[in-house]
Amino acid sequence: MEERRFRWRQVRPTMGPRGELAGEIMRRLTSLGTLALVFLFVTRSSAAPLATGSTLFPAPAEPDPAGGVVVNTLTTPFNVPGFFQGSLTAKVISGDPSNPFGGLTFTYQVTNAPASPNAIARMTVNHYAGFNVDASYQIPLTGTPPALIDRTTADTIGSSFSAIGQGVLFPGQTSALLVYQTNATAFAAATASIIDSGAINVATLGPVVPEPASLGICGFVASIAMARRRR
């Protein structure tokens, strides 16, 4: 044991003033690098942009929406005999201060009825082509979170429940609140798909590009507002 200590002391380089300065610089750079990584992680965790062809895994959790006004709600029951039954509730929120794009926020929540023979593994919704989307599920958690959220095409966003996460939606369970924040300024009827061994299309709500007539009305109102300000 003494021999090992002696050898360590013999081969260990002696730190002069320059060596100590270099060591101090390296320690400071390491600390700054660590802080940069932490800052990057925190920054990314506060937003979850979902580009076409991308997957958010694990699905991000955010305390969104943080407010705003619910301008429409639609609850649609579904039933695939022999497979599953339940309901899908969609809400459209305007003025959500946590929306990074400043547009409408869409939330979805899937419920698998206690009488369902099987679980539910996935929910997709369309009408998202041409829109920016920040996707997450809401915390504090009030249901089963998705394992991942993906955007297989520009139009379709899906949330998958699987054994990778906390599991599929078993009979009697409700999903976490799925939150899709967009830059859309209008909404319309859309189609969702509830999927497991079977599948069914369900009426829901999604973003839409305003019709030219609506844009004309908005422009007319804006021009009146500008004229009043000038006066």
What is the CB neighbour count within 10 angstroms for residue 79? Answer: 14
Determine the Cα–Cα distance for residues 221 and 127; give it in Å rounded to an integer.
27
- Dihedral of CA atoms 86, 88, 89, 93 in degrees, nearest 10, equals 170
CATH architecture group of domain 55-213: Sandwich (2.60)
How high is the pLDDT of residue 213?
52
Tens place of pLDDT per residue across the chain (231 aa): 444 443 434 334 344 544 444 454 444 434 434 333 333 333 334 579 999 999 999 999 999 999 999 999 999 999 999 999 999 999 999 999 999 999 999 999 999 999 999 999 999 999 999 999 999 999 999 999 999 999 999 999 999 998 787 899 999 999 999 999 999 999 999 999 999 989 999 999 999 998 765 444 444 433 433 344 344
Q: What is the DSSP letter of 210?
A: P
Domain range summary for the chain, segments of one domain joined by +:
55-213
What 3-state class would DSSP assign to 185?
coil
How high is the pLDDT of residue 46?
53
How high is the pLDDT of residue 91?
98
How high is the pLDDT of residue 3?
42
CA angle 176, 179, 185 (to 5 degrees): 155
How high is the pLDDT of residue 211?
77
Q: What is the pTM of this model?
A: 0.74
Q: Is 223 exposed, middle or buried (0-12, 13-18, 19+ CB in 10 A)?
A: exposed
